[in-house]
Structures are given as structure tokens and as C-alpha cells.
């Protein structure tokens, strides 16, 4: 936070000098400062957005924006090679600290191709808490899952496990394990 905003926030919280430090007009908010390259918002094409939200919103606990319908001139038509006139609906998913980290694009009116059995060509990797609980719920949905594996990083150990969502997307979840203190 900018030092002047920090001082103003502290003054407001403490109730000291707030009137004297508030500028007559607040400075306009500029675009966010982003260092490049910057990877942003992988997109998964799905057949049923509500069914997919049971995974990404309800189980993985990503916050979801309102579902919206794309316009007839949406950039998604040429980029995803969607037939003209097919209905496109979408939703953005958010983490607590960052907006639009993942998107779901629904194409319910056309038959989507299913990925081949192997090898998986892409994966989304997501850090979570309560990995065993999440996989209990994912298995109850009948989704394909792998066995968990403990792996070591330079500074920490983590457990990872993967599943294939309703539309064939490979999703790898991991949870950092508590340090043993050594």
C-alpha cells in the first residue's frame, strides 16, 4: 500500500486527523501494476457450466462471477473455432487474492470432443487445503482420480493428487505439508 494511503487508513482507524488528511479529490486508480510475462486465466471449455461449478466453486472453493452469455461477435468464436450461432456462456473464477484466475466457457449446444485416453496434453495445477477431503468428494462424484503422492520441494514437502473433470480436463491438486521443524 502506498505510504500516504497507509497513513490515511491508520488515521481513519485511530480517528486522528482524518479530516485534515483526506484530499479534496481522490487520485484516480490506475491500471494494476503487472510484471511481464504474466500468465493469466487459463480457460476450460465445458459442456455444462453448473455441473462444472460443483467442482471448481463448491469443492475447490474458487469464487465464481455471475454466469454471462457472450455476444454474437465474441472473440471466443474464432479463437476456439466455435460454430457461428452456438450459444456461449462463461464464468470467471477467483482466488481470495486475485481475480479471474480461471475461466469456464460453456458450449452446451454442440457436441464437444473428448480428449484421448492418454497422454493428457494439458493440466491445471491448483494448491488447496484438505486435499483428502476434496478427493473424497471428487471420488463420490464418480470422477477418475489418481493415487496421492508425497513429493519434496527445496523448502517444503507437499502431497499431490490428480483428477479428470466431467469434460476430460486433467486437474492436479497439491497441499503443502506441515514442516517437521528440522
**Any idea where the domains of the chain sit in the sequence?**
37-111, 119-182
Predicted TM-score (pTM) of the model is 0.78
Strand partners, 145: 163
Mean pLDDT of 20-37: 64
User: In the prediction, which pLDDT does 23 show?
Assistant: 43
CATH domain 119-182 topology: 2,3-Dihydroxybiphenyl 1,2-Dioxygenase; domain 1 (3.10.180)
Mean pLDDT of 108-120: 85
pLDDT digits (tens, 9 = 90+) for 124-159: 999 999 999 999 999 999 999 999 999 987 888 999
Four-residue CA torsion sign, 76, 89, 92, 122: negative
Architecture of the CATH domain 37-111: Roll (3.10)
Q: How far is CA 94 from the centre of its chain?
A: 5
> Higher confidence at residue 106 or residue 23?
106
Q: Is the pLDDT of residue 20 over 90?
A: no
- Equal fold, 37-111 vs 119-182: yes
Q: What does the block give as the cell for 22?
A: 483526506
Amino acid at each position: 500500500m502506498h505510504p500516504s494511503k497507509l497513513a490515511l487508513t491508520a488515521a481513519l482507524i485511530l480517528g486522528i486527523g482524518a479530516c485534515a488528511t483526506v484530499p479534496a479529490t481522490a487520485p484516480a486508480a490506475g491500471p494494476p501494476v503487472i510484471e511481464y510475462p504474466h500468465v493469466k486465466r487459463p480457460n476450460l471449455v465445458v459442456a455444462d457450466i453448473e455441473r462444472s461449478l460443483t467442482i471448481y466453486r463448491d469443492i475447490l472453493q474458487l469464487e465464481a462471477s455471475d454466469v454471462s452469455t457472450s455476444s454474437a461477435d465474441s472473440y471466443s468464436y474464432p479463437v476456439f473455432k466455435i460454430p457461428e450461432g452456438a450459444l456461449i456462456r462463461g464464468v470467471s473464477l477467483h482466488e481470495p487474492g486475485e481475480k479471474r484466475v480461471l475461466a469456464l466457457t460453456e458450449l452446451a449446444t454442440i457436441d464437444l470432443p473428448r480428449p484421448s485416453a492418454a497422454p493428457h496434453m494439458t493440466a491445471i495445477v491448483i494448491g488447496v487445503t484438505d486435499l483428502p477431503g476434496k478427493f473424497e468428494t471428487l471420488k463420490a462424484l464418480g470422477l477418475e482420480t489418481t493415487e496421492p503422492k508425497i513429493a519434496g520441494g527445496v523448502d517444503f514437502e507437499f502431497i499431490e493428487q490428480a483428477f479428470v473433470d466431467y469434460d476430460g480436463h486433467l486437474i492436479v491438486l497439491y497441499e503443502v505439508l506441515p514442516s517437521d521443524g528440522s
